[in-house]
Structure 1
Amino acid sequence: MTEMLIKPAAVSDADRLTALIQDCSAYRGDYAPMIAGYRVTPEYLAEHEVHLAVRADDDHLLGFYALITDIADLDLMFVADAAQGLGVGRRLITHLLDRARALGVTGGIRVVSHPPAEAFYLRMGAERVGTFPARPPIGWDRPELRFAL
């Protein structure tokens, strides 16, 4: 893979972020309700701390994260299927933690995880702190984790 850059999202990135979410194979089958109809809007991008991982040579989207700073919550994190296993997720988490510190976030960052992603977050240094209860349309409990800052 060519060099990767992490950069702030622009409001014009809304459609390509939505497409990445909707194309994510981890949300097929039983997990489809988690993203059914979900859209990243320009307003969301204008209001939150969202960063993209892109290939440096052509700006191809590899993944992204969205941090809600006022509640210190990792709201969204997705890595494109074709970029899985290439270190994109690790780079995004490192950037997320550095960015949160730079913004003055203290006490840690909460992650309500997609169940199959829990092991990834634990490998990245998150600690399991509880379980987020099922709420429609999501019919199952999810791991709740925290990254210390």
Structure 2
Amino acid sequence: MGSRTSPISPPVTIRRAVARDAKRLTRLVRRSGAYEGKYAAAVAGYQVGPDYIETHRTFVAVSADGQEGPQGPLLGFYSLVLAPPELDLLFVADHAQGRGIGRLLVAHMRSEARAAGLDRVKVVSHVPAEDFYHRVGAVRTGTAFANPPAVPWDRPEFEFRIPSE
């Protein structure tokens, strides 16, 4: 799927991530306000490497006008793993929250999943993101239990159902 521009102001373009995006994506994950306090340990050493970007369908949302924020023009990103089908990562830069970027990324992910022939995509959600996934149409399917020391808390599990067109 090619780039798509959104009517969100300023314009947003979604493009395939490339290896040189790895450091910026890693910084976005590690600096996410959603992972402050008790959640900080989950992302402290997290790395989005070039090999990960090349292996999975990773897409970034950028300001089409090149407007610089704390992460440069980077507004957010997601990663779709095809086998087994899972939305592995979805992050929106703190400065871009509340502008519809997450919703735009989910719509793009659904389109990519449909194009890949998937009928559902699993998501193990960060606890504070649970309401977001409800709002964008994911269905709660269960709980991913704590896995200390990396993740010492239970997390909600969701599924996006991908209807064929």
* TM-score normalised to structure 1 length: 0.97
Q: 1:82 and 1:112 mapped to 2: Cα distance?
A: 24
Correspondent of 2:57 among 39, 49, 52: 49
Q: Tell me the secondary structure at the aligned position of residue 86 of structure 1.
A: coil
Summarize the alignment of residues 1-149 of structure 1 with structure 2, pairs less than 5 Å apart: 1-58=9-66, 60-106=73-119, 108-136=120-148, 137-149=150-162
How many matched pairs?
Answer: 148
Q: 1:23 and 1:142 mapped to 2: Cα distance?
A: 20
Q: How large is the Cα RMSD of the aligned pairs?
A: 0.9
Q: Tell me the secondary structure at the aligned position of residue 30 of structure 2.
A: helix
Q: Which residue type is aligned with residue 90 of structure 1?
A: R
Q: 1:45 and 1:72 mapped to 2: Cα distance?
A: 16
**More deviation in 55-64 or 79-88?**
55-64
State the 1:22 CA deviation: 1.1
Q: What are the superposed Cα offsets for residues 107-144 of structure 1, whole Å, 9 maximum, x if unpaired?
A: x1000000010100011000000000100211110000
Runs of 4+ in 1 over 2 A off after TM superposition: none
Q: 5+ unaligned residues in a row in structure 1: which ranges?
A: none
Q: 5+ unaligned residues in a row in structure 2: which ranges?
A: 1-8, 67-71
Q: What are the superposed Cα offsets for residues 1-40 of structure 1, whole Å, 9 maximum, x if unpaired?
A: 4210011000110000001111111101011121120010
Q: What are the superposed Cα offsets for residues 40-88 of structure 1, whole Å, 9 maximum, x if unpaired?
A: 0000001000000000011700000001011110100000000000000
Percent of pairs with identical residues: 49
Structure whose residues are more often helix by fraction = 1
